[in-house]
Amino acid sequence: MERKVVFSGVQPSGGLTIGNYVGAIKNWVDLQEEYDCYYCIVDLHAITVPQVPKDLRQNTLKVLAIYLASGMDSEKSTLFIQSHVRAHAELTWVLNSISYMGQLSRMTQFKEKAKRSEENLNAALFTYPVLMASDILLYQADLVPVGEDQKQHLELARDLAERFNNKYSETFKVPAPLIQKFGAKIMSLQNPEVKMSKSDTDENAYILILDKPDAIRRKIKRAVTDSIGEIKYNDDQLGVKNLMNIYSVFSGDSVETIENNYQGVGYGKFKEDLAEVIIEGLTPIQEKYDYFMKNKDYLEKIYKEGAEKANYAAMKTLRKVYKKVGFIQP
Ligand code: TYM
């Protein structure tokens, strides 16, 4: 029996946060045992906002090193760079032809980004979710492990798959999102009502996977809580709830256990312990990351092999698509 397919990706735009780690990357590791996994570094997505070319190149390698350091294994999974597989851009063009402007303009992330970057409201930002659908559909993915913020994009990918299948006959697998119960939405440490994001202007709002212990301790110490003073998991204490989520995913303890362990204990001690739990989780990744970043030849070997494997799978789907829409074979 053929193994089911998993696809996911991260944008190489600046440092990755523990939100990216907990909401996505961390969950990808175990899937490798059971599924055919494609883990992509989505550089085509990254240029929807301004990038410095030299930094983009460097950040792309950094994300690959983080993948490997987090436990992604090129023997088990296909690790590749999006722009190395031309089919992503090509399928996007075809899917653009069945995408409705109205539906794309309702995408929450587009609306938010549009508000923030009015001077750079480019067309790629608008069709970004179509590119994301192409990523997924090219590999006939069954499952897409992502954080909560990508759910709407996943729904669009499903819609496009179904629309294409109805119009041109069965072609694409309709993918399902895989979203964790805890940690699927890590919030800003400074404002627990908004998502933790690397594009936040306040660097105390996020912890990066590569942050050193001192920075982690400082940021957690400054994290916003409340004046209630109890470690309780509820929506009246969004700051504390967020910190408990982070504690839970890094330590493996349930939120009930955390509540029990910290009964009658103040926020100070809880925050100190939380910082240590995060440091303990990130240190081995950082050590491996340093090792991989010193081995650029190895990284190059990984992404080249990955591109070859990804290209083979993607072209199979793209050829079908081109045939169905009526393009003459070259
Ligand atoms: P990106 O690069 O913004 O984020 C990568 C992954 O991290 C998750 N994530 C979070 N999870 C929990 N809490 C947070 N604060 C948090 N911030 C980010 C995201 O949900 C995501 O899973 N469009 C995508 C990348 C992409 C993709 C794809 C993903 C392109 N093509 C195909 C899956 C399949 C994005 O911008 O993710």
**Per-residue pLDDT at 116:** 76
pLDDT, position 113 = 82
pLDDT of residue 248: 97
| One-letter-per-residue 3-state SS of the chain | CCCCEEEEEECCCCCCEHHHHHHHHHHHHHHHHHCEEEEEECHHHHCCCCCCHHHHHHHHHHHHHHHHHHCCCCCCCEEEEHHHCCHHHHHHHHHHCCCCHHHHHCCHHHHHHHHHCHHHCCHHHHHHHHHHHHHHHHCCCCEEECCHHHHHHHHHHHHHHHHHHHHHCCCCCCCEEECCCCCCCCECCCCCCCECCCCCCCHHHCCECCCCHHHHHHHHHHCCCCCCCCCCCCCCCHHHHHHHHHHHHHHCCCHHHHHHHCCCCCHHHHHHHHHHHHHHHHHHHHHHHHHHHCCHHHHHHHHHHHHHHHHHHHHHHHHHHHHHHCCCCC
Active site residue 271: no
Mean of the per-residue pLDDT values for the chain? 96
Q: What pLDDT sits at residue 199? A: 87
pLDDT at 225: 96
Q: What is the pLDDT of residue 120?
A: 73
Q: Is 113 a catalytic residue?
A: yes
Please determine, for residue 194, whether its predicted confidence score (pLDDT) is greater than 90.
yes
The pLDDT of 244-254, averaged and rounded, is 97
pLDDT (average), residues 2-15: 94
pLDDT (0 to 100) of residue 62: 98
Top-confidence residue, 199 or 252: 252
Task: Determine if ligand 1 sits within 6 Å of the CB of residue 184.
Answer: yes
Can you tell me which atom of ligand 1 is nearest the CA of 132?
31
pLDDT at 288 over 80: yes
Which H or E run includes 196? none
Probe target for ligand 1 pocket from 6, 41, 42, 137, with the most ligand atoms within 8 Å of CB? 42
Q: Is 179 near ligand 1, meaning CB less than 6 Å away?
A: no
- Residue range 77-124, pLDDT digits in tens: 999 999 999 999 999 999 999 999 999 999 998 998 888 766 778 999
Q: What proportion of the chain, given as a percentage, has pLDDT over 70?
A: 99
Quick: pLDDT tens for 141-154. Answer: 999 999 999 999 99
pLDDT for residue 112? 86
Average confidence (pLDDT) over 47-70 = 96
Angle, helices 267-293/53-70, rounded to nearest 10 degrees? 110
Which pLDDT score is estimated for 1?
Answer: 74
- Whether 14 has a pLDDT exceeding 90, the answer reads no
Residue pair 255/282 in contact (Cβ under 8 Å)? The answer is no
Distance 147 CA to ligand 1 centre (A): 6
Q: Could you list the beta-strand ranges (E) of the chain.
A: 5-10, 36-41, 78-81, 143-145, 176-178
- Strand 143-145 to strand 176-178: parallel, antiparallel, or no bridges (unpaired)? parallel
> Residues 6 or more apart from 292 whose CB is under 8 A from it?
64, 65, 68, 69, 298, 299
